[in-house]
Amino acid sequence: MADWTETYRPRTLSEVRGNDKARDAFEEWARSWDDHREAVVLHGSPGVGKTSAAHALANDMGWETVELNASDQRTADVIERFAGRAARNATLGGSAVGGGAAGGDTASRQLVILDEADNIHGNYDRGGASAITKLVKESGQPIVLIANDYYDMARGLRNATREIEFRDISARSIVPVLRDVCRKEGIEFESDALSEIAERNRGDLRGAINDLQAAAEGRDSITVEDVVTGDRDKALGLFPFLDAVLKEESAEEALQSAYAVDETPDDLTKWIENNLLDVYDPRETVRAYDFLANADVWLGRVRATQNYSYWRYATDNAAAGVAAARDETKGGWTRYNRPQFWSSSDATADEVVGRIAAASGCSVATARREVLPFLQAVTHHCKPRELTVAMAAAYELDEAGVAFVTGSGESTNKVASIVEDAQILRDERMEDNAEGAFAASAGRRDGDLVEERDDENASDGRPGSDVDDGSAVGEDTAGESGGEVIEEEADDDDGQAGLGDFV
């Protein structure tokens, strides 16, 4: 049996259901593209018709499509080779396309579709986010980015594009689609059966069609009793997942919730770690960090071996282990904070890691994997403040750097005051070092002056039998003073090289 989601995929924008406002905005973007030449981001929950709308638009406009989806390796080279060539007015065969120029033949354009634009990160997609950002700024062809979570996209990419949100489709809008499918397939139905399918899918049209096909398989009619899909597996949101792990569910239930989240284990681990201290008490936190450390070991093995079967052990520790570390269920509402993901295209992350590596005398990789997570843990949300100030001073971090490490807002007064105090601390250290240097210079000048005066005494014939001894004393004094300064500076350098400066 053919897949009904493909068989009944909308062929024109007029067939796209449940998002009339977004559909109209998308069509307006396409028809006025010559005027603005912006890329557009279609974002919303899975199954609401974003990709279908992109292909339907291409059909309406008579445009060819070039699609790079999540199954492709989306490195900078791959993006440039395929999507980049299309966006710069060339077909995949290399011939020129006339639609790129203003006023050109719109029917000869290519619509470049980049799916899962919010899921480009890590070594596998090396350089991909920066390549896409460059692509949308230079493109001579219309580009559509598809994303589930708009704010998981790189900030530079968001700023360079127009955004259109596709909202979850209501059950009332899903039912007519299911009714049309049944009629085209020659299947009789009870209205309550279709309503049940629509309600259980909670706005996911694609899921509703899949469940309809499952219920109709081998039947020529559908009743309520035939709808046995139950609550079909649906991707769990990140915030409900954090509630499940950190507050509500047992270890076994938390593990099942982790499997229901449409995120990789390394990202889930970062979310848990970033919000753990806001929920757990100190004893629970200590136990939970042991499990997170184990999860990080397994994630390291995945990166080293590219064997993704190890992900299950990371999930066991990050979800089930952290939930088991909790003594009791937690109540109340918690404002969960987005973790600071670092990708190769994140200039702030690269700058912070580079400063840490230079000050600590370690490699950038070691600074990223080992030192940075430690700094994030001990200065979480800028607490304790003195420690955070010392860290900012040691690595000369600006507001963006402090916000990246601590997870606090970059524009907050708290971060700004920490950066100001860190500058004062650095100035004081420089002044202390400078005073020592001036003292050494003064000692050397005093010694020279004694020698000068003794030479004058000798030339005048005045008593000066101890001239040599006096000169020696002056030189020894300067040497001792200079030696002390050198030793103090060496100690200070040791203190600034790495974590010892502020721990």
- pLDDT tens digits for 142-179? 999 998 888 777 778 888 899 999 988 888 889 999 99
On whether both 144 and 15 belong to a single domain, the answer is yes
Token reading at 435: 């005073």
pLDDT greater than 70 at residue 74: no
Q: Has residue 335 been placed in a domain?
A: no
Joined tokens for residue 92 = 């995949």
- 190/288 same-domain check: no
310 and 389, same domain (yes or no): no
Tell whether 213 and 288 lie within a shared domain: no
Cα dist. 347→113, 127, 174, 439 in Å? Answer: 26, 12, 43, 42
User: In this predicted model, which residue has the larger pLDDT, 87 or 363?
Assistant: 363
Q: How confident is the model at residue 46 (pLDDT cuts 50, 70, 90)?
A: confident
Rounded Cα distance between 296 and 311, Å, is 10
Give me the domain span that covers residue 20.
4-165
pLDDT in tens, 352-408: 888 898 888 888 778 888 888 889 888 988 888 899 999 999 999 988 889 888 877
Are residues 455 and 382 both part of a single domain? yes
pLDDT at 443 over 80: no
Distance CA 384, CA 402 (A): 13
As given in the structure block, the two tokens for residue 230 are: 């139950």
> Is the pTM above the cut of 0.75?
no
What does the H/E/C string look like for 80-128?
HHHHHHHHCCECCCCCECHHHCCCCCHHHCEEEEECCCCCCCCHHHCCH
Query: If pLDDT is split at 50, 70 and 90, which confidence band does 215 have?
Result: confident
- Based on the fold, state whether residues 158 and 185 are members of the same structural domain: no
Triad 192, 197, 202: Cα angle to 5°: 125
247: number of CA atoms within 13 Å, CB side? 15
Distance in angstroms (rounded) separating the CA atoms of residues 441 and 433: 13
Domain check: are 246 and 205 in the same one? no
Looking at the structure, tell me whether residues 175 and 314 fall in a common domain.
no
Instruction: Check whether 97 has a pLDDT greater than 80.
Output: no
pLDDT at 40: 94
| Statement to judge: residues 159 and 181 lie in one domain | no
Using an 8 Å Cβ cutoff, are 261 and 271 in contact? no
- For 398-434, b/e burial (b = at least 16 CB within 10 A) is bbbbbbbbbbbeeeeebbeebbebbeebeeebeeeee
User: How many domains, in total, are found in the chain?
Assistant: 4
Task: Return the percentage of the chain with pLDDT > 90, whole number.
Answer: 26
Q: Are residues 372 and 470 in the same domain?
A: yes
- Whether the pLDDT of residue 447 is over 80: the answer is no
- Check whether residue 299 and residue 380 sit in a common domain: no
**Structure confidence at residue 203 as a pLDDT band (50, 70, 90):** confident
Instruction: Note whether 180 and 309 are same-domain residues.
Output: no
For 8, other C-beta atoms within 10 Å of its C-beta total 19
Give me the mean pLDDT over the 128-148 stretch: 81
Distance, CA of 412 to CA of 23 (rounded, Å)? 38
**335: helix, strand or coil:** coil
Looking at 324, 358, 391, which one is the last position of a domain? 324
